C-alpha cells in the first residue's frame, strides 16, 4: 500500500504532535518540522504529497516556506494555518500560492476534508 506522505510544519510542539497523531490515525505517512527551515531540509531528503504548515514560526515562517515550495515544487499542495484573523494573512497566502488556508482554532474534520481534497488518491493496495 502506498500511503500519502504529509509534512507538518509547526513550531508549537503540542499542535505539531496532535497533527502528526491525527494524520497517522488516518493512515497517512507523516514527517514533521518545527519551522520552515527544517521543512525545507526535509524536502531535500524526501518527497511529500502535501504540506500542512503554520504561518507564524520563528525559523522560517509559512510565507517563506510557501515561496520556496512554489519555486522548487510548484504543484505540491500546501495548506497554511494561522491564528491571525485579519483576512490579510489568508489573502497573502493565497496570492503566494497556498492551496488552502485554515484559521486557528479549526476543527480537525475541516483539516481532514481539505487534505482529502488536495492529496493524491490513496492506494487501496489492490492491483
Domains and CATH numbers, the chain: 5-118 (3.40.50.2300)
CA distance 21 to 98: 23
Helix or strand (DSSP H, E) at 10: none
Mean pLDDT of the chain: 91
* Confidence at 17, pLDDT banded by 50, 70, 90: very high
Q: Is the pLDDT of residue 1 over 60?
A: no
Read off the pLDDT of residues 60-119 as tens digits, 9 standing for 90 and up. Answer: 899 999 999 999 999 999 999 998 877 898 999 999 999 999 998 889 999 999 999 998
CA distance 19 to 30: 9
CA distance 75 to 2: 20
CA distance 26 to 35: 23
pTM: 0.91
- Residues pairing with 54 in the sheet: 81
Amino acid at each position: 500500500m502506498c500511503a500519502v506522505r504529509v509534512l507538518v510544519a509547526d513550531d508549537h510542539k503540542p499542535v505539531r504532535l496532535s497533527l502528526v497523531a491525527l494524520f497517522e490515525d488516518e493512515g497517512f505517512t507523516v514527517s514533521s518540522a518545527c519551522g520552515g527551515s527544517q521543512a525545507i531540509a526535509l524536502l531535500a531528503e524526501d518527497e511529500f504529497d502535501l504540506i500542512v504548515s503554520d504561518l507564524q514560526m520563528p525559523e522560517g515562517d509559512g510565507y517563506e516556506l510557501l515561496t520556496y515550495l512554489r519555486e522548487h515544487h510548484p504543484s505540491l499542495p500546501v495548506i497554511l494555518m494561522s491564528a491571525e484573523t485579519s483576512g490579510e494573512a489568508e489573502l497573502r497566502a493565497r496570492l503566494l500560492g497556498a492551496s488552502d488556508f485554515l484559521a486557528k482554532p479549526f476543527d480537525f474534520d475541516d483539516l481532514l476534508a481539505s487534505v482529502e481534497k488536495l492529496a493524491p488518491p490513496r492506494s487501496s493496495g489492490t492491483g
